[in-house]
Amino acid sequence: MLNSLNALTVLPTDPPLLYSPQTGAYLAAAQSEAKDFLTYQKQEAPDWLDYYKKLKGKRKELQRFILNCFTPPAAKPQYQPFQTSISFLGEFKCNLACVYCFNKDAQKTLNKTKHFSEKLFTVALQKFYKQKSGWPAVDFGYSGEPLLFFDWFQKLWAINQKLAAQYRKPPAALGIMTNGLLLDDKIIAWLEQHGCWIGLSLDGGAEATNSGRGAKVFERALKNYKRIFSRNSWIKYQRGVSATISSLNPDVSRVFRDLWGEGFRQIYMKPNRAAADNPYGLNKKLWPKLKKGYQKLFALFTADLRAGRLDRLLAIASRFDYAGRFLCRILIHTPVTRRCGAAYGSVSLRNNGDVYPCDTYAAMLKHQLGNIYTGFKWERDFIPAVDDLEHCRACAYRYICGGACRVWQEYNDGDASVECALNKFLIELCFQLAAELEKYPEQKQLLSACIKHNIVPPTRPGSRKEKK
Ligand code: SF4
Ligand code: SF4
């Protein structure tokens, strides 16, 4: 088993076969640049299985054990090395009107007179390339449809290459997350030739996707996206999909199986951050379905391990998946001290240069940090340290969780209870899976190596569509 999986993790070099906004090379740069941030001493990973067996059924003791394992050595944790990232929003323009889209608020504040500009790309990228620490990841057209402005993406690519050469740094990786409706052979060929990653956004199978996005959206998007599967180059390994979990598709197990069955091999599921009273938001009424869905999904992964199979677990073992990031932190033992790097490390830009903490925050004008042309202020404590949050400071899982998403909490008038309950539940599932993994040292070693080096194993060329 290990040999066949090992073969899958080999990275062809021309060009690299990583589906990720951050290629291996990029991550190496980020890690070495991040030394001036506080880093935690590496602790030996504990023998989860032994501990888990001993403590199984004793929830409080298990929590105390987890807390001890994840207590950072510094008395007061400071800043973890979040990646620097810039997101060019494109004013949230989209060719769909998904019923659950919380960016409808942002669309009300569209700046209709301004388009992207080469000046915007240049000024923003220059600021980030000049920074000593970190290395920019660049997102384009997030929270909208980037293929509506593909000509601007091409310009961004050219500016990025030029500035990277000028500052003698590797260019920030660029790519596109699309709803797939405008994808054609010409665009695919361009992305292929220029080494850009591409991912699809779907909400599961036909039923889940079309109920939120419109009739036949699933079929049309998939037909376009599958054009890349048959190309004879590195791009055919791009099998990434991102799914929003809302009241329309709370059974994550079904979402995962449907997307896996269509041939996707990096499957990232994230909850919709709408308010709990929004008809499409996640709330306590949906809790039993959500919980059951995750339990079924983790039962599938456990059964896979017993059958000597790791590929489906690898599909979510990434910091881009809501549950997968907890598993990553547990397995490679990387505590976090904050939820995210919004406003301090990552920012999102409107077309007129206005700067916001993240793309979701760009809907809230009161949180504008400044303007890229006239100046903006980083806000180190915009996302508070988890130890400074009253609700979290005694939580056993705080260094795996980092606290609740601030913007989701704001949409819920300060109430983080739904997200908090979800996080605790998922972290416990991840611990159970980590304990199970202890029985399979080869798989554990391989999985940890993939996570550590940000390796997404390419799918076996020619692999067939599997039964769901
Ligand atoms: S949000 Fe909840 S799970 Fe996360 S650290 Fe705070 S109390 Fe713990
Ligand atoms: S505030 Fe929430 S939505 Fe914004 S970057 Fe942080 S986790 Fe993501």
CA of 441 to the centre of ligand 1 (A): 30
Instruction: Assign 464 a pLDDT band (cuts: 50, 70, 90).
Output: very low
pLDDT digits (tens, 9 = 90+) for 166-199: 988 777 878 889 999 999 999 999 998 888 888 8
DSSP string, 219-260: HHHHHHHGGGGGSSSGGGG--EEEEEE-TT---HHHHHHHHH
**Number of Cβ within a 10 Å radius of residue 222:** 19
Query: Is ligand 1 within 6 A of the CB of residue 406?
Result: no
Using CA atoms, how far apart are residues 181 and 339, in angstroms rounded to an integer?
33
When pLDDT is averaged across residues 418-436 and rounded to a whole number, the result is: 91
pLDDT digits (tens, 9 = 90+) for 217-254: 999 999 999 999 888 777 777 788 999 999 999 999 99
SS3 390: coil
Locate the ligand 1 atom nearest the alpha carbon of residue 398 and give its number: 5
Using CA atoms, how far apart are residues 203 and 217, in angstroms rounded to an integer?
11
Query: Given ligand 2 and candidates 405, 410, 412, 419, which is best to mutate, with the most ligand atoms within 8 Å of its CB?
Result: 405
Using CA atoms, how far apart are residues 183 and 124, in angstroms rounded to an integer?
27
CB 334 within 8 Å of CB 328:
yes
Cα three-residue angle 369-375-380, rounded to 5 degrees: 45
Q: Which long-range contacts (CB under 8 A, 24 or more apart) does 153-157 make?
A: 154/190, 155/116, 155/118, 155/121, 156/88, 156/116, 156/121, 157/194, 157/196
Using CA atoms, how far apart are residues 77 and 338, in angstroms rounded to an integer?
9
Residue 424, pLDDT above cutoff 70: yes
When pLDDT is averaged across residues 406-422 and rounded to a whole number, the result is: 91
Residue 20, pLDDT above cutoff 70: no
What pLDDT is attached to residue 280?
87
pLDDT digits (tens, 9 = 90+) for 277-296: 888 888 888 989 999 999 99
CA of 433 to the centre of ligand 1 (A): 20
Residue 27, pLDDT above cutoff 70: no
pLDDT digits (tens, 9 = 90+) for 32-64: 322 222 222 223 333 444 544 555 566 565 555
Choice between 116 and 255, residue whose per-residue pLDDT is larger: 255
